[in-house]
A = this chain, B = another copy of it.
Amino acid sequence: MKFSFKNDYSEGCHPNILQALLSTNFEQQAGYGEDDYSLEAKKLIKEKIKSPDSEVFLVSGGTQANLIVISAILRPYQCVISATPGHILNNETGAIEATGHKVLSIETADGKLRPEDIVPVLENHSNIPHQVMPKLVYISNSTELGTVYLAKELEELSNFCREKGLYLFMDGARLGHGLTSEISDLTLEKVAELTDVFYLGGTKNGALIGEAIVINNEDLQQDFAFNIKQKGALLAKGRLLGIQFMELMRDDLYFDLAKHANIQAMKIKNAMKERGVQFLADTYTNQIFPIISNELIKILSENFEFFVWKKIDEKSSAIRLITSWNTGDEPVQRFIEIIGREL
């Protein structure tokens, strides 16, 4: 079996989670998220973000989190603004539109949004009432390209949104990776302060399933649970989500796991960089996009699984390598050895 660098959800979950599932299995607990573990997980999250008035809701996956948050917040005629690689734009089978809302796409170099990217969109949507009303800015951190928001960037975007009456929503499917990136100066606390809503992704960072939606804007908290139930996301055995986030939040497991994934990716990145390899983007999280020759792709493919991401020219393509909380040193070493040998 070849080792896979295809994604960060190839393995099960961190052993602590399985252990907790085992040790609590026969306890009778309340259903629908009212169990002790869900309550404890929410408490831990609110402590970590130092925002006691935020509300936390646990759901199963990222597409689910995105569609519930967006459809709960927007009025029928309001729309979302997203950078072009935004997960909601191209990888969720039109989940947002299926709830009735348009997603406007903004082309940016690095998958991040800045106020100056949004200004022309607002200007081009002034023909009231013939056009949708932009109302929510959707960003991902780390982004779908592996880039991250610096504190100053998020502050500027947040200020801009508040000034323009736009909600700011951060997709945190890989928030752990974003925040523990070696170049990140952003903290979880700061994220809670600067966004209206964000979520902590569990699925791609050591959980079996689970994203923790955090609603910081109190106006958006009311009745939110109804939306979760209506979209089929309220698990009868909510303990499954509660136990996972309780374990991930205990000590700093969540961040330790993400950091590990980042470090493994950086080892490969640095090894390739030293040998002169170019990258599609200069990323510092668990996703890297090296541009290599078709021959090298062929050789690597004999030992590893990964996606060929983008054809660059007749002779070379960018590949995508993703490491996870569980990527050991062995496959990383082996990968680096082949690089060393071939380049």
* CA distance in complex: A130, B61 (Å): 14
* Interface pair B91/A101, CB less than 8 Å apart: no
* Interface pair A12/B26, CB less than 8 Å apart: yes
* Interface pair A326/B95, CB less than 8 Å apart: no
Say how far A62's CB is from chain B's closest CB, in angstroms. 8
* CA distance in complex: A27, B228 (Å): 32
Could you give, for residues 82-96 of chain A, a 1 whenever the CB lies within 8 Å of some chain B CB and a 0 otherwise? 000000001111110
* Interface pair B208/A132, CB less than 8 Å apart: no
* Interface pair A97/B100, CB less than 8 Å apart: yes
Say how far A137's CB is from chain B's closest CB, in angstroms. 17
Binding-face segment, A109-117, A181-189, A229-237: A229-237
Q: What does DSSP make chain A's interface, helix, strand, loop or mixed? A: loop
* Interface pair A237/B203, CB less than 8 Å apart: yes
**Do A94 and B79 form a contact, CB below 8 Å, given A226-B129, A240-B208?**
yes
**Do A130 and B75 form a contact, CB below 8 Å, given A11-B28, A28-B1?**
no
What B residues does A13 contact at CB under 8 A?
25, 237
Q: Taking CB as reference atom, which chain B residue is nearest A25? A: B12
What B residues does A203 contact at CB under 8 A?
235-237
* Interface pair A12/B31, CB less than 8 Å apart: no
Say how far A187's CB is from chain B's closest CB, in angstroms. 26
Q: Taking CB as reference atom, which chain B residue is nearest A133? A: B226
* Interface pair B90/A131, CB less than 8 Å apart: yes
* CA distance in complex: A294, B316 (Å): 50
Residue A7 is within 8 A (CB to CB) of chain B in the complex? yes
Residue A24 is within 8 A (CB to CB) of chain B in the complex? yes
* Interface pair B226/A61, CB less than 8 Å apart: no
Residue A72 is within 8 A (CB to CB) of chain B in the complex? yes
* CA distance in complex: A204, B61 (Å): 21
Residue A52 is within 8 A (CB to CB) of chain B in the complex? no
**Do A100 and B102 form a contact, CB below 8 Å, given A31-B9, A60-B60?**
no
* Interface pair A77/B227, CB less than 8 Å apart: yes
Q: Taking CB as reference atom, which chain B residue is nearest A328? A: B26
What B residues does A232 contact at CB under 8 A?
60-61, 63-68, 92, 95, 231-233
**Subset of 23 A-B contacts with CB under 8 Å:** A1-B28, A4-B28, A7-B236, A9-B31, A13-B237, A65-B232, A71-B76, A76-B98, A76-B227, A77-B223, A77-B226, A90-B131, A92-B229, A94-B230, A95-B232, A97-B101, A98-B231, A99-B100, A102-B103, A129-B225, A129-B226, A130-B229, A208-B237
- Which residues of A line the B interface, CB within 8 A? 1, 3-4, 7, 9-13, 15, 18, 21-22, 24-32, 60-68, 71-72, 75-77, 79, 90-95, 97-103, 127-133, 203-204, 208-209, 223, 225-237, 239-240, 326
